[in-house]
Structure 1
Amino acid sequence: MSDPLTLDSLTPFTHAYDGERLAGVHGGGPGRAAVVLLHGAGAGSEERSRPLLAEFVGRGCRGLAFDFSGHGNSTGSLRDLSLRRRFEQAVAVIDARVPAAEPLVLVGFSMSGQTVADLVRHYRDRVVALGLCAPAVYAPEAWDVPFGEGDGRFSGIIRTPDGWRRSPALAAFGAYAGRAVLAVPGRDAVIPPEVTEAVQESLAAHAQYTRFELPDAEHQLGLWFRDHADSRRDFADALLAGLGDGGPTVVSGVGEDGLHGHTDCGWRSG
């Protein structure tokens, strides 16, 4: 479990946007890269990501995580949320909390794989590293559709066989040339393996890419990182180390202390 003294480095905040109050936590100081953690759908929230966020803050990074509307401590209704609104809320919080000249490290869980791709297209070269944790990607027509109650248009779109293959996220990942780490659980009952392989193929095109394997984990990697300190450390090492090395690597994320060496946020984008 997490060290409560480390979690004390995180401070709550709220941000008003589009009639709603978005709640989150942040830590760290200026002059380093900013790591932004984005939770998944359903019961996802920033709270389960706090130990991972504290890991990055402890390495000198600015750290930021928040609840999308309808989640956690934020206001709003989950049924009214959409992929577009997730993107817009993330931009609003990042622009309010992170200085414009500061490099970004984006980490997205599950549904936020799509949100990370949207942010990569928006912030372009400012994104120096991205971490995708059991990511999902979606057909373009799903982007602006409210999630609803699970039986509406959004659900119909995402259940269309192979609709995800047309996702603009795959093109965004294929064009991305920074550091990229794909965290893959050994047992994922949510994301089909062909989606994971398509994301991997896109990242491997130009990114400095690492596949980070967690053989004993299931889909909810936020919970896994919350409960496994070794995996948190190794994931942070993989994401922050090796910038500029190039070439894909495969990393086992179970108890591999020192695999990359302890890395921090002292680097700058080139």
Structure 2
Amino acid sequence: MSELSSFTPLTSFTYAHDGERLAGVLGGGPGRAAVVLLHGAGNGSEERLRPLLAEFVARGCRGLALDFSGHGNSTGALRELSLRRRFEQAVAVIDAHVPAAEPLVLVGFSMSGQTVADLVRHYGERVAALGLCAPAVYAPPAWDVPFGEGDGRFSEIIRTPGSWRRSPALEALRAFAGRAVLAVPGTDAVIPPEVTEAVQDALAAQAQFTRFELPDAEHRLGLWFRDHADDRRDFADALLTGLGDRGWTAKQLPEGRTITGLLGRYA
């Protein structure tokens, strides 16, 4: 963990929702914005995101990260989780722990790319910025289907070639006019490059957009940021650049960084 974030306290919490106990961590208080970190699928959890969360808290933000049901310290069965339930759990925890007047910065890893887009549709102009890290998006029929054991209806839908092209997530991202950073690993064996290109095209339509290249990283960017302090510092800086003044002034980054920017129209 970086020197900046190593002394940033985070507090664990649990929250009862829909018959389950959702676990997570909080840090900071009223400030620039509330930053919400959402982990990916499989064995993802908030624990690996704590160093990144601490970076945002150290920059004057409220910070929140949660375990979706069936993950980490939350109760519930992963096979019963769905994209719809992920969205509902995120809304419940955000509404319980973040004052309604605070702007939101949403950061989603892998499967939570879809969840972030769903939250953008829900919270609208309250979302000031979003960070998508090797994000996935899904076809409309997949939204309400339980994940199962990997061989059921959900898997059938998402494995249908090109089904993701009809995802409402792309429409939501295309309409987003805040700050947006897309973190892209050099090697991604999970997300097809055409999905990443479609997400980039959507964000570049109106957002104040930056593509954040991590050439030596693979798909699990939560683990990458946990273990690479310089990269997580640069990612936090990139996402918060210009936040609060409705503008974007490019930040001078350390030599060797490969961030490229595509400026869209301001809201």
Q: Same fold (TM over 0.5)?
A: yes
- The 10-residue stretch of structure 1 (2-11 or 140-149) with the greater mean CA deviation from structure 2: 2-11
Q: CA deviation at 1:5?
A: 6.9
1:96-134 C-alpha deviation (Å, 9 max, x unpaired): 000000000000000000000000000000000000000
Query: CA 1:122–1:5 in structure 2 vs 1: closer, same or farther (change >3 Å)?
Result: closer
1:48-93 C-alpha deviation (Å, 9 max, x unpaired): 0000000000011000001000000000000000000000000000
Q: Distance in 2 between matches of 1:85 and 1:214?
A: 31
8 Å Cα contact 2:80-2:146 kept in structure 1: yes
Matched ranges for 1:7-156 at <5 A: 9-156=9-156
8 Å Cα contact 2:8-2:57 kept in structure 1: no
For the aligned residues, what is the CA RMSD?
2.3
Name the residue aligned to 2:230: 230
Q: Give the partner amino acid of 2:107.
A: V
Q: Distance in 1 between matches of 2:108 and 2:182?
A: 10
Name the residue aligned to 2:263: none
Q: Give the partner amino acid of 2:54.
A: A
Q: Helix, strand or coil for the counterpart of 2:205? A: helix
TM-score with structure 2 length normalisation?
0.91
Query: CA 1:140–1:228 in structure 2 vs 1: closer, same or farther (change >3 Å)?
Result: same
8 Å Cα contact 1:230-1:255 kept in structure 2: no
Q: Distance in 2 between matches of 1:156 and 1:128?
A: 35
8 Å Cα contact 1:214-1:254 kept in structure 2: no
Q: Helix, strand or coil for the counterpart of 2:172? A: helix
Name the residue aligned to 1:212: 212
Query: CA 1:4–1:124 in structure 2 vs 1: closer, same or farther (change >3 Å)?
Result: closer
Q: Helix, strand or coil for the counterpart of 1:16? A: strand
Matched ranges for 1:171-186 at <5 A: 171-186=171-186
Identity of aligned residues (%): 80
Unaligned stretches of 5+ residues in structure 2:
261-266
Q: Give the partner amino acid of 2:71.
A: H
Q: Distance in 2 between matches of 1:42 and 1:160?
A: 20
Query: CA 1:5–1:141 in structure 2 vs 1: closer, same or farther (change >3 Å)?
Result: closer
